Amino acid sequence: GQQVMQIPQYQHVQEGEDFTTYCNSSTTLSNIQWYKQRPGGHPVFLIQLVKSGEVKKQKRLTFQFGEAKKNSSLHITATQTTDVGTYFCGPGNTPLVFGKGTRLSVIA
């Protein structure tokens, strides 16, 4: 099945700094989904991207899907402590095959 790689694996930022995580695939993806898992919690769906070059925003979160539909990114502007957690990406296939995720910690 399709596999994705996520970088970085860990990211520590000061509160107020920006944060970006990248999701890369060796094959073209039909779409990509992003999920967030808070520490001790369960994954929660954030967004799905379908179109080449698509950009979607959710408040301080900006999601992009590459023109070639092989990569995606999640950018958080001015991080807050509520952003702490692990962000997973994966092709929106059935079943989901997640990347290993990027664990974000925010230092207040």
Partner 1 sequence: NAGVMQNPRHLVRRRGQEARLRCSPMKGHSHVYWYRQLPEEGLKFMVYLQKENIIDESGMPKERFSAEFPKEGPSILRIQQVVRGDSAAYFCASSPRAGSNYEQFFGPGTRLTVL
CA proximity to 92, closest of 32, 52, 24? 32
Work out whether 7 is an interface residue with partner 1 (CB under 8 A): no
At 30, give phi and psi (nearest 5°). -75, -35
Per-residue x/- marks for partner 1, 8-37, CB under 8 A? ----------------------xx-x----
Residue with smaller CB distance to partner 1, 42 or 59: 42
Work out whether 43 is an interface residue with partner 1 (CB under 8 A): yes
To partner 1, the closest distance from the beta carbon of 68 in angstroms equals 18
Residues 95, 54: Cα–Cα separation, whole Å = 23
Tell me which of 59, 82, 95, 108 binds partner 1, using CB under 8 A.
Answer: 95
CA proximity to 86, closest of 48, 57, 44, 56? 44
Tell me which of 76, 99, 104, 106 binds partner 1, using CB under 8 A.
Answer: 99
CA proximity to 56, closest of 38, 31, 86, 24? 31
Residue 96 and residue 1 in contact, taking contact as beta carbons nearer than 8 Å: no
Tell me which of 45, 51, 57, 80 binds partner 1, using CB under 8 A.
Answer: 45
- Residue ranges binding partner 1 (CB under 8 A): 30-31, 33, 41-45, 48, 50, 86, 88, 91-101
